A and B are shown apart, each in its own frame.
Chain A
Amino acid sequence: TQLLEQSPQFLSIQEGENLTVYCNSSSVFSSLQWYRQEPGEGPVLLVTVVTGGEVKKLKRLTFQFGDARKDSSLHITAAQTGDTGLYLCAGVFWGSQKLVFGQGTRLTINP
């Protein structure tokens, strides 16, 4: 079974602080996506990474794909209360077409 481990599952920090969320697997991904989900809604795609070592930026969010394509991270700089939400990593393992999700990180940014 190909598993995708996401950590931490819960994170509560003060506004202005930085944070990093990790997504790891023992298997290689052909691609990996990061999503954000609001309560009662479907996940919204933030970014897709495909190439090992790839770094993508979306305003204060920085996404990194590991060189071996087995891990990824999401770093948020100077977190704002509007960043509060559920962040999900999801990967397509090499040789598969399935999109499998990590456990999610419930992020709370306190004013």
Chain B
Amino acid sequence: AQSVAQPEDQVNVAEGNPLTVKCTYSVSGNPYLFWYVQYPNRGLQFLLKYITGDNLVKGSYGFEAEFNKSQTSFHLKKPSALVSDSALYFCAVREDYGGATNKLIFGTGTLLAVQP
């Protein structure tokens, strides 16, 4: 069965410092991996996705993520955090198993708090 783990409930980082939000996944086929961000009282906003090709994916708002097949990880990174990056971040996976449903399996979310 597909699953996603976000081992950290919260990540604290000072503004200007690099940030990493961790995600590991488990699938039996090829994974399609996504990061979404949720600001308070708002829906999820798409940040970036990995489908195939280059392991380093660049997305919105200066975020990037690195796909590591051997470690089954897809960590979200940003070189310099902003206070406005403070939000709830969700990693999600969809498995390429040839099935009809394209549902996403989500992690439990990581709250990113950037201190000024």
Q: Do A and B make up one complex? A: no
